[in-house]
Structure 1
Amino acid sequence: MSLIEDLQWRHAVKAYDPTKKVSQENVDKIVEAARFAPTSSGLQPFKILIVENQALKEELAKGALNPDCMRECSHVLVFAAWDRYTEERIDKVYDFTTDERDLPRGRFGSYTDKLKSIYLSEAAERNFAHTARQTYIALGLALAQAAELR
């Protein structure tokens, strides 16, 4: 199937069959798609929390527009945007990137210095507005991956 066909199939689910569970393999694929999201500066300024615990889903359901849906689903993916950029967060992302690509630490030093000069001088509210927009990109890719998996 094509991406367009997958997206045409996708819809907002209003109820789940609580006897069915999304496989861990498929959850991993959905999270992996989000991890590869093309976010600004490659910072991936969010965390994805996977909630399977029924008691936690019950707590989350208290704030949901469709609480039954939250209670019935097998997994809840919480996309949590960073509240702000910090030097530690920027360094951690680029240390991970260089390690994963087998490059020397500090390889992106001038780039990360520039990012820090931009982001660290901004107000927390502006940082959060930016990280939230980046998180939506990851959410979109996660939804597209879920649609492909059907």
Structure 2
Amino acid sequence: MEGKDVINLRLNTVTAMAQKSKLQTKMAINRHSDYPIKVFPRYLQSLTIDNTQLVKLSYHICSLRNLTHLDVSNNKLRKLPVELGRLHLSKLVLHDNNLGEIDDWSFLNGSKLRDSLRELDLSANDLTCLPLPVVKCHKLVNLNLNYNNLTHLPLPYVA
């Protein structure tokens, strides 16, 4: 092999490694026009979608295996997909949505989410009762229920 071929090979390897190290791990979307049309970067660890009038959480978000922090504050969510329970989220921020209208909280029954969730923000959602699956999140350290209409709390779950 000539010297220039080896140099080109080394440069290509270094360039590829540099590109791989710059993988996008954080994303913040603050306008509806910034929302990705096709897919989200697959190595995302933190995703914030704030004040975009979002009414449904995309399946693509639920397939982001590295995601540990999801913030979908100030939107119009009325339902969350069961697939969300497959993520290893440590922080889930659902502040100021329309979640008080839903009766299906089964996404919190997903064992990966239930066993990894440490922070949950359900503030300003017009909740009248704390959803029972929240009680089953045993690693939960911080639970924000401010600005709701809670009238009662569920009895603790005994397994």
Higher strand share: 2
Which TM class, normalised by the smaller chain length?
Answer: under 0.3
TM-score, structure 1 as length reference: 0.22
- TM-score when normalising by structure 2: 0.21
